[in-house]
Amino acid sequence: MDYRKTIRLYYDYVINCYTRVPLVLERGKGTRVWDAQGVEYLDFFPGWAVSGIGHCHRRVVEAIKRQAEELLHVSNNYYHESQGLLAEKIIHHSFPGKVFFCNSGAEANEAAFKLVRKIGNPSRNEIITMDRSFHGRTLAAVTATGQKKYQEGFEPLPGGFVNVPFNDFEALERAVTPKTIAIMMEPIQGEGGVRVADHPYMASVRRLCHDKKIILILDEVQTGMGRTGRMFCYKNFGIEPDVMTLAKSLGGGFPIGAMVAKKEIADVLTPGTHATTFGGSPLACAASLATFEAIEKEKLINNAVIAGSYLFKRLNELKRQHVIVKEVRGLGLMAGLELTIEGKNIYEECLKRKLLINCTQGNVLRLMPALVVKEKEIDRAVQILDEVFSLEKEIVLTKERGKAA
């Protein structure tokens, strides 16, 4: 079908709640995707980190095919092998606890909200979250999300959420009351502009939660599954959360979410208190188990560390060469470049040069290549960015000359 026909169908029949570029994608493999005309793109933002181990990873595709021949779905009133195995796998890589399976990041966070409310009910029902955070698009998740633009127009919002500035321990301490049941944050704010939690801050938050019997929820929907050079980002900080939420790359491209809770609190959710029809289906669990297998057997976390340090070395070179790059931030293969100018144009120029990236908060370019990325692909991406930054410098200079004349 003509790609223009595809776009037309969206225009006529798909609710228009996304900003889309006119690019119809047809195929993907590793760090590459191809459009309907067969043009190849280097993907440094694979599905907002969903395709974390690369597009159509062989192990994931095989596992899905195999499982699809056996059983697609069973209700959670029965057992099936792969859900148990996947829960065991997640716990093996995190902390002693139990897992609730769902289908997305927002749902994983909803499960966390319900868990902590059930624990605190009725007297302790407040959850503190961070400014510029992002936790998903359900009503409770947008309320937890510390950004007005995601909330406006959807009032009344559910109560019981308090926002405080990120990386500001005093502000957090001040916000804690006897009603506080949980503190929730991303170890690195993704949508918030790739802002990494400070080490001492994280340690203080952990201590505070321990002392005041507050539940620490870490949203690892974006930072999990090896992205930051450890299986889960919190491991970089030498602390452990009480609850962790996962989704995005958990299924290697297949939708699956999970809420992981420490043993002592997990059993608060008893039969009938929480559920989701599709959660932890055989197909989703098979895809996720294959994702873990790929990460383990192909030493992808090791690659995230090595390729990540190379990526940051090259990005810091770019910063030295281009004054429009104000700061390079991130960890592992999660990188943000804060610019002194709007990033929209840069994004578009990269797209023209067949490099897919993201721009968040207006002026932060975000790069999150798949864990399988190679040095020469990083070189290619950096070369394109270099070209585009130079072009941008020309535009700025021309404008200034125009003003001066």
Give the active site residues. 134, 219, 248
Number of residues that bind ligand PLP (CB under 6 A): 13
Residue 219 Cβ, how far from ligand PLP at the closest point, in Å?
A: 5
> Should residue 43 be labelled a site residue for ligand PLP when binding is judged by CB under 6 A?
no
Residue 154 Cβ, how far from ligand PLP at the closest point, in Å?
A: 15
Q: Is the peptide bond before 122 cis (omega within 30 degrees of 0)?
A: yes
Nearer to ligand PLP, 113 or 134 (CB): 134
Nearer to ligand PLP, 222 or 281 (CB): 222
> Should residue 105 be labelled a site residue for ligand PLP when binding is judged by CB under 6 A?
yes
Residue 134 Cβ, how far from ligand PLP at the closest point, in Å?
A: 5
- Write 119-126 long-range contacts (CB < 8 A, 24+): 119/181, 119/215, 119/265, 119/268, 120/181, 120/182, 123/178, 123/179, 124/178, 124/179, 124/180, 124/181, 125/160, 125/179, 125/181, 126/160, 126/161, 126/162, 126/177, 126/179, 126/180, 126/181
Helix crossing, 300-321 with 282-297: angle to 10°?
A: 70
Nearer to ligand PLP, 288 or 384 (CB): 288
Nearest residue to ligand PLP, using CB? Answer: 105
Residue 105 Cβ, how far from ligand PLP at the closest point, in Å?
A: 2
> Should residue 82 be labelled a site residue for ligand PLP when binding is judged by CB under 6 A?
no
Nearer to ligand PLP, 136 or 160 (CB): 136
- Write 33-41 long-range contacts (CB < 8 A, 24+): 33/356, 35/3, 36/3, 36/6, 37/3, 39/354, 40/354, 41/354, 41/355, 41/356
Contact of 29 with 54, CB cutoff 8 Å: yes
Lay out the site mask for ligand PLP across 189-208 (x = CB under 6 A, - = otherwise): -x------------------
Q: What is the DSSP string of 282-301?
A: HHHHHHHHHHHHHHHHTTHH
Find the part of the chain contacting ligand PLP (CB under 6 A) among 100-108, 121-129, 229-237, 358-366.
100-108
Residue 109 Cβ, how far from ligand PLP at the closest point, in Å?
A: 6
Nearer to ligand PLP, 83 or 222 (CB): 222
Residue 99 Cβ, how far from ligand PLP at the closest point, in Å?
A: 16
Find the part of the chain contacting ligand PLP (CB under 6 A) among 104-112, 206-214, 293-301, 314-322.
104-112
Lay out the site mask for ligand PLP across 217-256 (x = CB under 6 A, - = otherwise): --x-xx------------------------xx--------
Nearer to ligand PLP, 99 or 325 (CB): 99
List 43, 186, 242, 377, residue binding ligand PLP (CB under 6 A):
186
CA distance 33 to 138: 30
Binding to ligand PLP (CB under 6 A) within 125-184 occurs at 134-136
Burial 191-212 (b: 16+ CB within 10 A, else e): bbbbbbbeeebbeebbebbeee
> Should residue 312 be labelled a site residue for ligand PLP when binding is judged by CB under 6 A?
no
List 86, 106, 185, 357, residue binding ligand PLP (CB under 6 A):
106
CA distance 46 to 368: 7
Residue 278 DSSP SS3:
coil
Helix-, strand-, coil-residue percentages of the chain, each rounded to 5: 45, 20, 35
- The residue type at 104: S
Residue 52 Cβ, how far from ligand PLP at the closest point, in Å?
A: 12
Nearer to ligand PLP, 45 or 389 (CB): 45
Length of the chain: 405
Q: Which residues contact 255 (CB under 8 A, 6 or more apart)?
A: 103, 104, 247, 284
Nearer to ligand PLP, 134 or 292 (CB): 134
Residue 366 Cβ, how far from ligand PLP at the closest point, in Å?
A: 11
Q: Which residues contact 372 (CB under 8 A, 6 or more apart)?
A: 30, 31, 53, 54, 57, 298, 300, 303
Chain positions contacting ligand PLP, by CB under 6 A: 104-106, 134-136, 186, 190, 219, 221-222, 247-248
